[in-house]
Structure 1
Amino acid sequence: MAGLDRRRFLQLSAAGAAGTAISQILGEGIARAAEIPANRATGSIKDVEHVVIFMQENRAFDHYFGTLKGVRGFSDPHPAVLPSGKDAFHQANATREVTPFHPAAPGLGMQFMEDLDHSWKLTHEAFNDGKYDKWLPEKTDATMAFYGRQDIPFHFALADAFTVCDQYHCSVLGPTDPNRYFMFAGGDDPDRKGGGPDLWNDEKGYWWSTYPEELEKAGVSWKVYQDIGEGLDPAHYEGWTGDPYIGNYGDNSLLYFKQYQDAKPGSPLYEKARTGTTAKAGDDLFRVLREDVNAGKLPQVSYVVAPEAYSEHSNWPPNFGAWYAANVLDILTSNPEVWSKTAVLFMYDENDGFFDHIVPPHPNTPQIPGASTVSTAGEWYDGTPTFYGSKDVPGHFGLASGCR
């Protein structure tokens, strides 16, 4: 990706010219990625030899892609119907009704947007046992704001070129960590066998089994690509620092598990999850990733964790994240042999409180007698204190959230 390093990108951002630069320069990697023929040696899933998982922060499907053609966005002909009789796009509070709107701000893709409440409690209250009609009272009018192609051209170009999943739902009606536990460890421990569940980003130290441990047992190579910030131990907030351009924003949730905290240097869990680059000393995550790709050492499973400024969290511009994602894509496509055998999963952990019109799949509410005889074991939090003493309103786990 020639001509747009971080310094130049920030200069263009300050000058208000980043939108053009992103669409013209960052799009080069997408074009190259689409041009490289896929490995079809067997014509099966075995042709995929590398999986790269890049989970970003706090965006909803409609919030980004509601205007994208060919998906279930704002043109959905069969939206859910609210108790009011209107469709789900017509959210209301006691005094007014608000439908999805595009904020009238120049250079919206480079603007900081309001960080909305995305707690377990208020998100379940917005969900309202599936009635789906309390977004405005619990999330404010800003929940209905969305971006368009002109604001986030890289994201739209990526969606145009590759598969976009318009029925993707994050896993918990709540904050970052519980959702990332589903990605890293297959769930949030609803059965309370490993110190969970975590409803509040408690980060206390858990011990249920994680996916990388299972990969290790199966002989599948893996690695977390991250910057260490000031350090990856609890004393240094597991990589979350006061400098948003370094570290991992605390988003490597493996570091909140005891087996990783107790891992010793030289062990697989330590070397693959508790090491990283040191940007404050001039090191570069992209350099390490590029070296691995060029040397044919890209693991079979890779996790990429961005610093705060590039995480797309709503208090950072989405196009900062576009720059970061474009660099990752540029590196992966720099070796056509590797890229032809690689699947990249680009996703978001939760919705930050931004509206999405699709009511997600969810188990029946136990408090409704006769609603179902199907067991909700492992899918429901009953409101009692968790292992570490946290307590919140009852609600469901699983394939459910207001984010797709």
Structure 2
Amino acid sequence: LKGVRGFDDRSGITLSGGHPVFDQPNGTGRQLPWKLSSTPAAGGADGATLAQCNGDLPHSWTSQHSAWNKGRLDNWVSGVGNVRSLGYLDRTDIPFHYALADNYTICDAYFCSTLSATGPNRTYLWSGKVDGSSYDGGDESGLTWQNYAEALQAAGVTWKVYQNAQDNFGDNGCAYFKKFASAKAGDPLYDRGMASVPRGTGSTPDDIAAAIRADVVAGTLPQVS
């Protein structure tokens, strides 16, 4: 992709033995990045479809610190416990995503606040803070300090989390905070932060898209969403 660092990144570190960081140890051999759809499953499964449906990889405190290996960055196969840690998708696998990438900004300098699970990183994203219990999935309920949405509210900045109250899947970081979890209808922390999207079609993605469109059309899109 234009303007992004890739497998030929000249700022990548060199591993022990003179190998580039993308040439990882794999048992008694070495493992280079490989196209996930190059080895379709038996039974006639389509390679691209199989690659798109590849399962998630471990991203806990333990697995990530093992892969990091105290800064050596040389344990991405055994640390994560799967050779798929070096698998990738190309333009033929996910053409729609590549089309988006060709037309919009690529955020390839990804920031992660801690080598840990999703929960504490989401807490940091929402509040700039995690505490001593945050490693490996902590900080996902009962938090008491001020988060970003509360700061916006106090400053008079309009905001909204587009979410259906019945369908969160743990993705809304506001729900980790006690004030939001206990808020009731009529409280902006609830109305804007926990239940801003009404059920309509029964399809949560469609309902969210419809709610955003309705605000755009009505000129009520918040300053921060």
What TM-score comes out, normalization by structure 2 length? Answer: 0.85
1:206 aligns with 2:143: yes
| Cα distance in 1 for residues equivalent to 2:201 and 2:136 | 33
Give the equivalent residue in structure 1 for 2:155: 218
Q: Among residues 168, 171, 187, which one is paired with 2:113 in the alignment?
A: 171
Aligned length: 213
1:293 aligns with 2:213: no
Give the equivalent residue in structure 2 for 1:311: none
| Cα distance in 1 for residues equivalent to 2:99 and 2:138 | 33
Give the equivalent residue in structure 1 for 2:75: 134
> Map of 1:158-307 to 2, 5 A cutoff?
158-189=100-131, 196-197=133-134, 199-201=136-138, 203-228=140-165, 231=166, 247-275=167-195, 276-278=197-199, 281=202, 284-302=207-225
CA shift digits 1:1-26 (9 cap, x unpaired) = xxxxxxxxxxxxxxxxxxxxxxxxxx
Letter in 2 for 1:288: A
Cα shift at 1:264: 2.7
The answer on whether the counterparts of 2:67 and 2:73 sit within 8 Å (CA) in structure 1 is yes
134 and 188 in structure 1: CA distance in 2 versus 1, 3 angstrom threshold: same
Gaps of 5+ in 1: 1-67, 232-246, 303-404
1:144 aligns with 2:144: no
Cα shift at 1:300: 0.4
| Cα distance in 1 for residues equivalent to 2:8 and 2:115 | 25
Instruction: Return the structure number with greater relative CO, CA threshold 8 A, min gap 6.
Output: 1
Query: Partner of 1:206: helix, strand, or coil?
Result: coil
Cα shift at 1:280: 7.1
Give the equivalent residue in structure 1 for 2:44: none
Cα shift at 1:298: 0.3
112 and 292 in structure 1: CA distance in 2 versus 1, 3 angstrom threshold: same
282 and 146 in structure 1: CA distance in 2 versus 1, 3 angstrom threshold: closer
| Cα distance in 1 for residues equivalent to 2:28 and 2:139 | 36
Q: Percent identity?
A: 42
Query: Partner of 1:138: helix, strand, or coil?
Result: coil
| Cα distance in 2 for residues equivalent to 1:138 and 1:220 | 44
| Cα distance in 2 for residues equivalent to 1:290 and 1:180 | 26
198 and 301 in structure 1: CA distance in 2 versus 1, 3 angstrom threshold: farther
The answer on whether the counterparts of 1:114 and 1:142 sit within 8 Å (CA) in structure 2 is no
Query: Partner of 1:225: helix, strand, or coil?
Result: coil
Give the equivalent residue in structure 2 for 1:117: 58
Cα shift at 1:152: 1.7
CA shift digits 1:200-234 (9 cap, x unpaired) = 25623111210001001111000011223xx3xxx
| Cα distance in 2 for residues equivalent to 1:89 and 1:248 | 36
CA shift digits 1:22-60 (9 cap, x unpaired) = xxxxxxxxxxxxxxxxxxxxxxxxxxxxxxxxxxxxxxx
Letter in 1 for 2:55: E
282 and 99 in structure 1: CA distance in 2 versus 1, 3 angstrom threshold: closer
